[in-house]
Each structure stands twice: as C-alpha cells, then as structure tokens.
Amino acid sequence: MARSRLVELALEPYVMALYATPRLALIPALILWLGINFELRFAVVVVSGLFPIILNTYLGAKEVDRNLLDAGKAFAAGPLQTLRTIVIPGSLPYIFAGLRLGMARAFIGIIVAEIETSVLGIGNLINADVQRLRFDEMWVAIISLGVFSIVFATVLKALERWATMPWQRKGLVRPWLRRA
C-alpha cells in the first residue's frame, strides 16, 4: 500500500474499517459465514491480529527516510532491491510494533471468541468459572494467560532486538574484536 498510490486508495478504507471494528461485532457475521467451529476461532484471531500488523507496516513503509530512497535511486536499485534493502529494514521497528499490538489483540480476540462461541478453551473456562462462582480457578486461568503473554512478548522483543540491532547479536563478534 505504501509503494503504490492506487493500491493505497483501494485498500486503506477497508483496512481502517476492519481495524476499528470491534471483534464482538464481527463474530455474528463470521458465524454465518464459517459456522461454529475451529475455523471461526481462527478467523477471529486472524482478523484481530492481522490489521494492526498491516497498518503499522504500511505506516513504517511510508516513513522510510527519503534520503535512503534517493541513495537507492542514485545507485540504480530496482523496485524489488529497494524494497528488500531499504524499505523493509527501515520499516522493521514499525513492523515489530504492529506485531506486539497484533499479538495483544489476537489474545483478546481468541478469549472473546471462546467466551461467545466455544465449549472448549480458556475463554470458556473463565466464563464457566465465573458462572459457578469459582473465582480462584478463574484467577488461575487469567494469571496463566498473563504469564503466557509475557513470555510471548519477551520472545518477540528479543526477536526485534536481533532483527533491528545486529551489532548486539551475541557470538557474532570475534573475541579479538571485543577488546578493541
């Protein structure tokens, strides 16, 4: 979208609309389309998590330094080479921000989908525990979700640091260079 004005004009309204629409409002339409099954839960997770990634990647590609793009043109870089060597590396912080936002929204989406439509899953477990006034078991499920999301966010942050700061990768610098 960021590299083509025509694609941007065609897709941006739909991306913005689906990004802003609450998942709870989409579940009835997805039920009619997919039925109540695993595909429904998968679709809710994808719809919840994909659009923050698309939106942030789009914004990151639009914010690439113009001087770098001009340097690519000066060295006769083609469109694919410009994308691979300038746009994607320049957009990585935005892409990882989108991944973090998408991950959080996907977790919320799966819990909402399981509460609303599932007989299995942690969302249904939390809902059943609340209805039966088993608050201790409900808190165990919620804390487990929190721990899982912290672990996932930590892995994602380490992956971001590895991708955006190659000079901090451990084991790649020769020992004799470390002393200098």
List pLDDT tens digits, range 109-148: 888 887 777 667 777 788 888 888 888 888 888 888 889 8
Residue 77 has pLDDT above 70, yes or no: yes
What is the predicted pLDDT for the residue at 171?
56
Residue 177 within a domain: no
What is the predicted pLDDT for the residue at 128?
82
Torsion of CA 139, 152, 56, 106, to 10 degrees: -40
What residue has token string 């979700």?
145
Residue 179 within a domain: no
What is the predicted pLDDT for the residue at 158?
87
DSSP 150-174: HHHHHHHHHHHHHHH-GGG-TT-S-
Residue 178 within a domain: no
- Domain range for residue 23? 5-172
Residue 166 has pLDDT above 80, yes or no: no
Residue 53 within a domain: yes
List pLDDT tens digits, range 143-152: 888 898 899 8
Residue 129 within a domain: yes
CB under 8 Å to 76, separation ≥6 — which residues?
Answer: none
Residue 30 within a domain: yes
Mean pLDDT of the chain: 83
Find the CATH number of the domain harbouring 124: 1.10.3720.10
Q: For the chain, what is the domain count?
A: 1
